[in-house]
């Protein structure tokens, strides 16, 4: 009976170590995402707002809270619409290795307002990396 309990503890410890290792690998995979290729159809968007939209698309938080309203938006947002195409490099271990995402984005052009709505249209796997 004691040998059986000992085996059970060993299996439990191995399962716990495996779970922790998998969580660490997943966290490093998310933090190493590379969004070098980003195209946006509206040239008047600020770099800061575009970066905020992309981080929101992929659930990446940098600790900055999104301010969805500005005092200038009391009577409504000044909405601009555009299409964003982002390419994630080295997502998969074999070719094709990259993923391209096309989304429609509506965002407020007023200062200090980070209101935006993202509607994902298409995701495709592409071969762009070796």
Same domain, 10 and 67: no
Q: Residue 114: give the domain boundaries.
A: 33-126
Same domain, 119 and 92: yes
Same domain, 52 and 108: yes
Strand-pair category, 98-108 with 79-88 = antiparallel
State residue 53's pLDDT score.
Answer: 80
Same domain, 53 and 100: yes
Task: Dig out the tokens for 103 from the structure.
Answer: 């989304």
Same domain, 43 and 25: no
Q: Which residues are CB-neighbours of 107 under 8 A, at least 6 positions away?
A: 45, 49, 53, 79, 80, 82, 115, 116, 117
Q: What is the pLDDT of residues 86-115, one digit of tens each?
A: 888 888 888 888 888 898 988 888 877 888
User: For residues 75 and 78, what is the distance between their CA atoms, to the nearest angstrom?
Assistant: 9
In this prediction the pTM is: 0.59
Per-residue pLDDT at 122 exceeds 70:
yes
Same domain, 7 and 65: no
Q: What is the pLDDT of residues 8-45, one digit of tens each?
A: 778 778 777 776 776 665 544 444 455 567 788 877 77
Same domain, 94 and 52: yes
Q: How many structural domains does the chain have?
A: 2
Same domain, 47 and 79: yes
Q: What is the pLDDT of residues 36-73, one digit of tens each?
A: 677 888 777 778 888 878 777 777 766 666 667 778 88
């Amino acid at each position: 009976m004691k040998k059986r309990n000992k085996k059970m503890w060993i299996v439990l410890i191995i399962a716990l170590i495996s779970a922790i290792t998998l969580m660490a690998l997943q966290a490093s995979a998310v933090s190493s995402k590379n969004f070098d290729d980003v195209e946006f159809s509206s040239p008047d968007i600020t770099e800061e707002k575009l970066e905020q939209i992309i981080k929101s698309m992929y659930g990446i938080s940098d600790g900055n809270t999104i301010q969805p309203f500005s005092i200038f938006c009391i009577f409504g947002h000044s909405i601009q619409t555009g299409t964003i195409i982002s390419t994630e490099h080295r997502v998969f271990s074999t070719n094709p290795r990259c993923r391209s995402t096309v989304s429609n984005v509506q965002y407020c052009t007023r200062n200090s307002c980070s209101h935006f709505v993202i509607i994902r249209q298409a995701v495709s796997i592409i071969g762009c990396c070796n």
